[in-house]
């Protein structure tokens, strides 16, 4: 039997103003298990806490029921008080008679009655409380960053600089990501490569960073502090140790017709290739789908020319198994393919480009050497139309419901770059709204519109028509409500930022939740923007939602700091209010395992001693370090063997009974 002390707080006049404290305190004394009841002006104050500690000592209390404000406010305070009094901190229950009672009711009589009932429910629950002990688990002092774009690189550098080891897993043959494809960045018109490549080199040369390029995450298990991950390092067909990056193999390769991913298919590359000149690591990859050797077994020129004997056609995928304390997701985005919008003639006319293709074309190292031309006839365009919000701010059936955030700015950048290089080209921009929140962003846009004479038209483009080699843009001008047509030589579509759909599989592997657009969900939209709700998983960059480069870098740093918060600990203290299986009752049906969102339930074959009757049975076991204590399994369990510590079936039933008692 418990020896319970009930403590009723006035909270000044906050509670005492509406609730008859005396009546609640007196009625508490009559509740089962209660041996002491008292009231105090401010229970959370030093004096209030001291009164609790004294009462525990004098009356030999085993549990404390506090009738005060919300447990979200002071539960931790009173748990500490209990611990200081020598009790288990989980022998505390709180009746919320302020937020849920005195503050919302004016009638003193009914407020007092309700407060009494809430107190009764807390005491009924407390009678069934048991001491709980949080589990401890160790921390592997190593971080995994998935994705080697600017977000991943920045996170990795920040963690590595703090003295912890980091592995970057990148699926393409080089790190650098989308930022490497950009020509200039807004709003400063910095050269993207000039600011990115030094960071790529820093990451590659950092003592604490290991790069796994051309690699993917195959399997993830474990939990915060101790994730085990299988990384598949895909066969490059080139020995990484032997290759010196001379590039002779690339020049010799007779296949020259493979589409360059880096140039968005606007240029061709050989079958053995590095994606771009500043690739890190500068080690070629054999694209086995296009390589003659792999297709017909005949060729092998690269093998012959290689001075260091680095070419290895027999190379197999390699699986690397590693343990990590934390995982940071930095999987970035891909631009939405506008092929689904037939009205824009993308894929039908070579003169309709996406913004990223246009970006490559403007780049001095790009497919045209930085010369702007029409791909249909290699002539210089006289008029360019930019169409914004292609796939963004659409209804869910047609595209993405969200604003992609960066398109207004990069379109202004593109328009400005064109005007800078070719002042004689007419530039028109169709927009729905121009959104420029950001430091120096609006100034940048206004510069494009005012100084560079870019023609901004508020309106929607209905369709494009191919008129004798020119593109006729038919649109409505929303400001004067008229239909307009513009003949363009080049049309550039500002396509929506889209999370690549294949990250969903990764999300499932990590048990990190994602939204309907395949962006990772943050633990709290305002207060925990870089943490996933799953402990130990952090979010960096566009994988969480559309962002520009400075925001991405800021978030990458924030994710690193949050990750370091775990890496710097030697032990993690868990939440003891987690599920627990009664092996005697468990029949091994797997219902709990199927509903667990964290994969915290495992089954083991075990000898069960059921009142002297020994037999081997398959029973559920809860991994204490993984379980987050939602309780989904407790309700799914048909045999009643699963229960949630701190919120047991009996405790909740007791609360229900106490409330319904008349």
589 binds another protein (CB under 8 A): no
The one among 35, 84, 204, 652 contacting another protein by CB under 8 A? 652
107 binds another protein (CB under 8 A): yes
113 binds another protein (CB under 8 A): yes
Per CB under 8 A, which region of 31-39, 158-166, 414-422, 507-515 contacts another protein? 507-515
Site for another protein in 510-549 (CB under 8 A): 511, 513, 515-516, 521, 533-534
Residues 555 and 544 sit within 8 Å (Cβ to Cβ)? yes
- Provide the 3-class DSSP secondary structure of residue 157: helix
The one among 80, 100, 470, 569 contacting another protein by CB under 8 A? 100
DSSP designation for 336: P
Which 3-state string (H, E, C) describes 68-93? ECCHHHHHHHHHHHHHHCCCCCCCEE
If the CB atoms of residues 294 and 647 are measured against another protein, the closer one turns out to be 647
Q: What is d(CA 634, CA 579) in angstroms, rounded to the nearest whole number?
A: 7
Task: Give the position of tokens 């037999």.
Answer: 615
If the CB atoms of residues 361 and 633 are measured against another protein, the closer one turns out to be 633
Per CB under 8 A, which region of 105-113, 319-327, 359-367, 465-473 contacts another protein? 105-113
114 binds another protein (CB under 8 A): yes
If the CB atoms of residues 1 and 660 are measured against another protein, the closer one turns out to be 660
- Provide the 3-class DSSP secondary structure of residue 539: strand
Q: What is d(CA 30, CA 178) in angstroms, rounded to the nearest whole number?
A: 69
Per CB under 8 A, which region of 130-138, 370-378, 462-470, 593-601 contacts another protein? 593-601
657 binds another protein (CB under 8 A): yes
The one among 1, 30, 86, 106 contacting another protein by CB under 8 A? 106
Tokens of 199: 């960071």
99 binds another protein (CB under 8 A): yes
Residues 181 and 262 sit within 8 Å (Cβ to Cβ)? yes
Q: Closest distance between another protein and the C-beta of residue 25, in Å?
A: 19
Strand runs (DSSP E) across 336-431, as ranges?
352-354, 383-390, 426-431
Q: Closest distance between another protein and the C-beta of residue 38, in Å?
A: 24
Task: Give the position of tokens 């962006």.
Answer: 519
The one among 89, 281, 338, 629 contacting another protein by CB under 8 A? 629
Site mask for another protein (CB under 8 A), range 596-615, x = bound: -xx-----------------
The one among 29, 47, 60, 72 contacting another protein by CB under 8 A? 72
Site for another protein in 375-414 (CB under 8 A): none
Tokens of 454: 């870019």
Q: How many residues bind another protein (CB under 8 A)?
A: 52
Q: Closest distance between another protein and the C-beta of residue 192, in Å?
A: 35
DSSP designation for 1: -
**DSSP-derived secondary structure for 34-65:** EEEEEEES-TTSHHHHHHHHHHHHHHT-SEEE
The one among 28, 38, 101, 490 contacting another protein by CB under 8 A? 101
3-state DSSP helix/strand/coil % of the chain, to nearest 5:
30, 25, 40
Q: What is d(CA 180, CA 202) in angstroms, rounded to the nearest whole number?
A: 15
Q: Exposure string (b/e) for 30-49, b if CB count within 10 Å is 16 or more?
A: ebebbbbbbbbeebbeeebb
**Ranges of H-type helices in 363-496:** 407-421, 441-446
Q: Closest distance between another protein and the C-beta of residue 592, in Å?
A: 12
Q: What is d(CA 455, CA 452) in angstroms, rounded to the nearest whole number?
A: 9
Site mask for another protein (CB under 8 A), range 632-651, x = bound: x-xxx-------x--x-x--
Using CB under 8 A as the criterion, which residues of the chain lie in contact with another protein when the complex forms?
70-73, 96, 98-101, 103-107, 110-111, 113-114, 117-118, 121, 511, 513, 515-516, 521, 533-534, 577, 595, 597-598, 628-632, 634-636, 644, 647, 649, 652-653, 655-657, 659-662
């Amino acid at each position: 039997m418990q020896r319970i002390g009930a403590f009723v707080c006035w909270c000044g006049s906050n509670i005492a103003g509406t609730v008859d404290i005396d009546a609640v305190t007196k009625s508490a004394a009559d509740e089962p298990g209660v041996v002491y009841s008292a009231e105090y002006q401010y229970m959370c104050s030093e004096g209030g806490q001291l009164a609790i500690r004294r009462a525990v000592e004098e009356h030999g209390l085993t549990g404390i029921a506090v009738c005060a404000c919300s447990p979200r406010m002071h539960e931790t305070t009173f748990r500490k008080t209990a611990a200081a009094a020598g009790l288990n901190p989980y022998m505390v229950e709180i009746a919320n008679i302020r937020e849920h009672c005195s503050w919302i009711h004016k009638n003193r009589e009914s407020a007092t009655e309700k407060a009494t009932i809430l107190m009764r429910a807390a005491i009924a629950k407390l009678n069934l409380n048991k001491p709980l002990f949080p589990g401890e688990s160790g921390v592997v002092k190593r971080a995994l960053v998935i994705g080697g774009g600017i977000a991943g690189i920045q996170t990795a550098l920040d963690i590595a600089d703090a003295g912890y080891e980091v592995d970057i897993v990148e699926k393409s043959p080089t790190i650098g990501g989308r930022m490497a494809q950009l020509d200039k960045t807004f709003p400063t018109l910095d050269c993207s490569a000039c600011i990115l490549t030094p960071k790529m080199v820093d990451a590659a040369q950092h003592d604490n960073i290991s790069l796994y390029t051309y690699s993917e995450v195959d399997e993830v298990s474990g939990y915060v502090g101790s994730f085990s991950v299988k990384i598949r390092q895909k066969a490059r067909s080139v020995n990484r140790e032997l290759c010196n990056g001379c590039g002779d193999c690339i020049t010799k390769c007779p296949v020259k017709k493979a589409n360059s991913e880096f140039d968005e298919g606007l240029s061709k590359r050989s079958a053995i290739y590095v994606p771009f000149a500043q690739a890190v690591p500068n080690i070629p990859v054999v694209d086995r789908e296009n390589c003659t050797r792999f297709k017909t077994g005949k060729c092998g020129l690269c093998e012959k020319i290689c001075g260091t004997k680095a070419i290895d056609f027999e190379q197999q995928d390699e699986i690397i198994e590693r343990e990590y304390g934390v995982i940071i997701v930095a999987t970035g985005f891909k631009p939405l393919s506008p092929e689904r919008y037939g009205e824009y003639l993308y894929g039908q006319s070579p003169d309709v480009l996406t913004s990223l293709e246009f970006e490559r074309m403007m780049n001095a190292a790009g497919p045209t050497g930085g010369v702007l031309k029409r791909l249909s006839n290699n002539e210089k365009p006289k008029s360019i139309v930019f169409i914004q919000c292609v796939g963004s701010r659409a209804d869910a059936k047609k595209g993405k419901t969200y604003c992609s955030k960066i398109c207004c700015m990069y379109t202004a950048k593109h328009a400005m770059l064109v005007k800078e290089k070719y002042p004689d080209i007419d530039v028109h921009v169709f927009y729905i709204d121009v959104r420029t929140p950001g430091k120096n962003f609006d100034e940048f846009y206004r510069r494009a519109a005012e100084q560079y004479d870019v023609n901004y038209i508020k309106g929607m483009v209905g369709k494009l028509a191919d008129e004798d080699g020119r593109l006729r843009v038919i649109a409505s001008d929303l400001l004067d409500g008229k239909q307009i047509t513009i003949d363009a030589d080049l049309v550039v579509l500002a396509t929506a930022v889209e999370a690549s759909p294949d990250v969903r599989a990764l999300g499932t592997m990590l048990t990190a939740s994602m939204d309907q657009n395949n962006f990772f969900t943050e633990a709290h939209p305002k207060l925990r923007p870089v943490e996933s709700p799953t402990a130990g998983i952090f979010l960096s960059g566009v994988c969480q939602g559309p962002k520009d480069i400075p925001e991405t870098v800021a978030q990458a740093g924030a994710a690193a700091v949050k990750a370091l918060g775990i890496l710097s600990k030697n032990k993690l203290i868990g939440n003891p209010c987690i599920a627990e299986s009664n092996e005697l009752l468990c029949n091994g049906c797997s219902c709990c395992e199927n509903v667990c969102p964290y994969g915290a339930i495992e089954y083991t074959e075990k000898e069960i001693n059921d009142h002297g009757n020994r037999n081997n049975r398959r029973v559920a076991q809860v991994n204490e370090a993984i379980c987050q204590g939602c309780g989904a399994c407790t309700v799914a369990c048909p045999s009643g063997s699963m229960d949630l510590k701190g919120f047991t079936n009996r405790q909740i039933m007791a609360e229900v009974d106490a409330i319904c008692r008349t």
